[in-house]
Structure 1
C-alpha cells in the first residue's frame, strides 16, 4: 500500500510514534547516541583546547611547520579518512565497541584552528604578566583563556554535538551489532525491517523524535552560537 504525501494531516494520530519505538529498540539507540555524543564531545574539547593553546602560546621547534601540515589535512577528502580509520580500527580489533566509535572523532583540525585564532586574540601582555606571577600554563589556560573564549567553545561544543548526533556513515561501517547502533542506524533498520514504503509515517515519526533534541538545543543556545561565531570571526 502506497502513502501519498499530503500537506495537511487528514487524521492526526500519535500511533506512529509508538510504532517507531516498538519496531526497533529506538530508546536503546537514543541512549547509545547520547553516550557517544557526550563522550566524543568531552574528549574532543580537551584535545583541541590543549592543541590550540600549544599552537597559540607555546614555543617549540617546528611549530609553524606542524601547524601548516595540520591545515593541509583539511584538504584531504573525508572519504579517504573514513577508509584509513576503518582499516586502523579493524586492525586494533575495536569494531563493535564504543571505543572504535569514538576514537576517530576526538579531534578536529578546523576546531583547533578556530580556537587557536580565538586564543591569539587575547593579548600577549596578559600571558607574560601571568608568567611573571609564577602562573603555570595550565592554570593560565583554565583560569584566563577558557573563560574569555567561552562563547567560541560553546559554539564548538554545540556544532560537535550536532555532528555526533547525526553521524551515520561511520557507525554504519564500524558496528554490525544492535547493542552499538545509534539513532541514525535505527532509521535505516526501520526501513530494512519492512516499514519502508508500507509505513512511511512511522519513519517520519522516528525522524521527528531524533531531530527534537537538536532543535531544542539550538533554540536554547542560539544566542551563544551567534556570539561565538561573531567572536571567532573578529580579529583584534
Structure 2
C-alpha cells in the first residue's frame, strides 16, 4: 500500500504546527538574562576621578596590576575616617593616606580598594590599572579574584547616617562593573583563596552579589549602618542595569 502523500501546502502547515508546539516554553528568568546580556555598559559608566587628580604616589606602587577576565561580585567597605570631611578640600589627602597605609603599613602593592566614594557621591579610582578593566584588588582576604572592592570614605557604625549620594555612587559602580547577566540582587558562589577569611582555602561560599566585607572576614566593616543599607544598593544597581539594557 502506497503511503498517503500530503499536499505541499498541508505539509508546510503541519511542519509549522509541529515546530510551534514543540518549541520550549520561554521562562521569564531566561528572557531577563538575555536582556541583561544586551547591557549597554558605556551608558552605565559613572564619572570617576582618576589617580592623577588626587596625586597618587605612583613611585610607591610595587608591581604591575593583575587582571581578571570577569567581575562576579562586589564587596563594600568603609575606611573608618571621621565623617565631617570636606569633599573638595580634604578627600585627596585622605586618599593619599589610604594608599600610603596600604603600601607601607600593610605591605600591599598599591591601594587595596578598586574605588573609593565620598559622602558627596564622588567616585575615585583606587588601585591602578585602568578603571575600565577588571583590576584585581587587595580588599577582601580570600576573595579578591573576580570581584570589585568599593570603600565608603568615613565611618558607618550603628546610629550613623549613610548619605544617599554615597549609596547611589556605590550602586552606580556595581551596576557598571558587574558582568552582563549578573543580577545585583542575586547570589554568587565564590571559592576562597586564603585560610584567613571566614572560609578555609578552597571552600565555596554562597554570597550576595553585592556583599559587605564582614560576610567573608572577621570584621564589623562596612559598619552596621552601611551594611543595613546594602539592600537599597542592590535594588538601585539592578534598576540602573535594567534601564541600560537594549
TM-score if structure 2 supplies the norm length?
0.21
Q: TM-score, normalised by structure 1?
A: 0.21
The structure whose RCO (Cα within 8 Å, separation 6+) is larger is 1
Q: Which has the higher helix share?
A: 1
Q: Which is higher, the Rg of structure 1 or of structure 2?
A: 2
Which structure is higher in strand share? 2
